[in-house]
Amino acid sequence: MNEPRTILVIGTYDTKDAELNYVCDCIRQQGGKVISMDVSVLGDPSQPTDISKHEVAAAADKTIAEAIDSGDENHAMQIMADGASALTAKLYADGRIDGMLAMGGSMGTDLALDCARALPIGVPKYVVSTIAFSAIIPPDRLTADIQMILWAGGLYGLNDICMATLSQAAGAVLGAARSACRPDPDKPVIGMMSFGSSALRYMVHLREPLIERGFSVAVFHGTGMGGMALERLTEQGYFACVLELAVAEIGNLMTGSILNAGATRMTAAGRTGTPVIAAPGFGDMVDFATWAPVPARFEGRPYHAHNRLIASASLSGDERRELAHEVARRLKSGTSPVEFVLPTRGVHAWDTEGMPAHDPEALAAMVDGYRAAMTDPIRLTEVDCHINDIAFSEAVLAIIDRWIADGTIRMAR
């Protein structure tokens, strides 16, 4: 922890030279080291950077002249983004950096997102952006542990407001680099999709038994951003097995809810050959923002306001069948082994008798939908219980034990 940490500082040094050098100075004053990377196209920095714009373009097999001659700022910056992300990955692989900080407006943020995705989880990735937290940033562009701060008053030139932000960013990324606890590269990890324990209990029942079997267990919140993170880490081959036990993000995507994780959700495991155990947790409701009007098609349906941010409304029996077939289509789209555990008595705490989402007829339609959809190559296990019962979790563990025994799940990374 006491060894000096090196931060890669990325930005357009032609237009944000003073701001970037201020950040570099802040990092050095706190005992850190800096590697500066210029991703400018047209202009030049006031002093040479450690990695020039020409080196960045060359890393994308292009030249600055080609970027300029393209006559299109978007195309030019994509060249620089390709080169910058490639160099970022190489710098980390070579052991030269311990974290990155990138700064910019919409152009710089676009490039910064690619650089952040080039680094593995556990490596600090800090983006100072004039569009931080904006809805124009799609969830699938965000890496799992990215950190962002709004660059208030930072569009052009140093001032007291933006210096307050930049100094915080410098301290945050250096402090993170000093204290980061990197994941054990040899321990097998299970990624699990769920919602809070007030609604789904299987994560409580499964976590300790999985740890006893030698796994690290990472549980993701199925509200869009969680699914995005799970998908990204699955793409990186991070998991020994994925437990896709809650499917609400797919239903949200199908109904146009903003609480989705993108069009490729639940496909990364199939592309990487990662074993999957799936189930229909929350496969009967659609989520939307509590602060927004209830979508017209869901007015009058059973409704649950979870808090001031997220609310849910029930899907009809036919909609649940459609969701079942869409989930099956995604699970069948790849090469990974897939097993589906179908609890027949309910899929979350709010659908039990006396609760607002209790609807036996629609539940029966959903169960029939999954029975019809989960065909070869998916192996279906039906359990006569609620998803929150111990029996459901025992069925999941039985599959895991079988997969450990036959080598489907690799216990060494």
- Give all domains of the chain, ordered by start, each with its CATH number: 6-179 (3.40.50.12020), 189-406 (3.40.50.12030)
Rounded to whole angstroms, the Cα distance separating 319 from 332 reads 20
SS3 state at 71? coil
**Token pair listed for 340:** 């589906």
Rounded to whole angstroms, the Cα distance separating 322 from 94 reads 48
* C-alpha dist (Å) from residue 127 to 97, 99, 102, 166, 395: 16, 11, 5, 10, 43
Rounded to whole angstroms, the Cα distance separating 71 from 207 reads 55
Q: What is the mean pLDDT of the chain?
A: 93
Rounded to whole angstroms, the Cα distance separating 8 from 98 reads 8
Rounded to whole angstroms, the Cα distance separating 145 from 100 reads 12
Which ranges of 213-316 would DSSP assign to H, the alpha helix? 225-235, 248-255, 268-272
pLDDT score of 38: 97
Rounded to whole angstroms, the Cα distance separating 225 from 260 reads 8
To which residue do tokens 């769920």 refer?
Answer: 194
| Per-residue b or e along 188-222, where b marks 16 or more CB atoms closer than 10 Å to that residue's CB | bbbbbbbbeeebbbbbebbbebbeebebebbbbeb
Q: What angle do CA 188, 190, 196 make, to 5 degrees?
A: 150
Cβ partners under 8 Å of residue 149, min gap 6 = 126, 127, 128, 129, 132, 165, 168, 169, 172
Which ranges of 121-278 would DSSP assign to H, the alpha helix? 160-179, 202-212, 225-235, 248-255, 268-272
pLDDT score of 134: 87
Helix (H) or strand (E) holding 313: strand 310-314
pLDDT score of 413: 64
Rounded to whole angstroms, the Cα distance separating 243 from 220 reads 10
Angle between helices 202-212 and 390-406 (to 10 degrees): 30
Rounded to whole angstroms, the Cα distance separating 272 from 68 reads 38
Rounded to whole angstroms, the Cα distance separating 392 from 57 reads 53
SS3 state at 172? helix
pLDDT score of 365: 97
To which residue do tokens 């006491």 refer?
Answer: 2
DSSP state of 51: B
pTM, whole model, 2 decimals? Answer: 0.86
* Whether 158 contacts 22, CB under 8 Å: yes
Alpha carbon 300 to its chain centroid, in Å, reads: 33
Name the region of 264 (left: φ>0; alpha: ψ -120 to 50; beta: rest).
Answer: alpha
Sheet containing strand 303-305, edge to edge, reads: 285-289, 310-314, 303-305
Of 342, 348, 399, the C-alpha closest to 210 is 399
* C-alpha dist (Å) from residue 30 to 7, 25, 33, 248: 12, 9, 9, 45
Burial class (CB in 10 A: 0-12, 13-18, 19+), 100: buried
SS3 state at 379? strand
* Other CB atoms within 10 Å distance of the CB of residue 185: 8
Q: For residue range 367-386, what is the model confidence (pLDDT) as tens digits? A: 999 999 999 999 999 999 99
Of 100, 104, 101, the C-alpha closest to 150 is 104
Per-residue pLDDT of the chain (413 residues; tens, 9 = 90+): 568 999 999 999 999 999 999 999 999 999 999 999 999 999 999 999 999 999 999 999 999 999 998 888 899 999 999 999 999 999 999 999 999 999 999 999 999 999 999 999 889 999 999 999 888 888 778 888 999 999 988 878 889 998 999 999 999 999 999 998 877 778 899 999 999 988 999 999 999 999 999 999 999 999 888 998 999 899 989 999 999 999 999 999 999 998 888 899 999 999 999 999 999 999 999 999 999 888 888 988 988 888 999 999 999 999 999 999 999 999 999 999 999 999 999 999 989 888 888 899 999 999 999 999 999 999 999 999 999 999 999 999 999 999 999 999 988 76
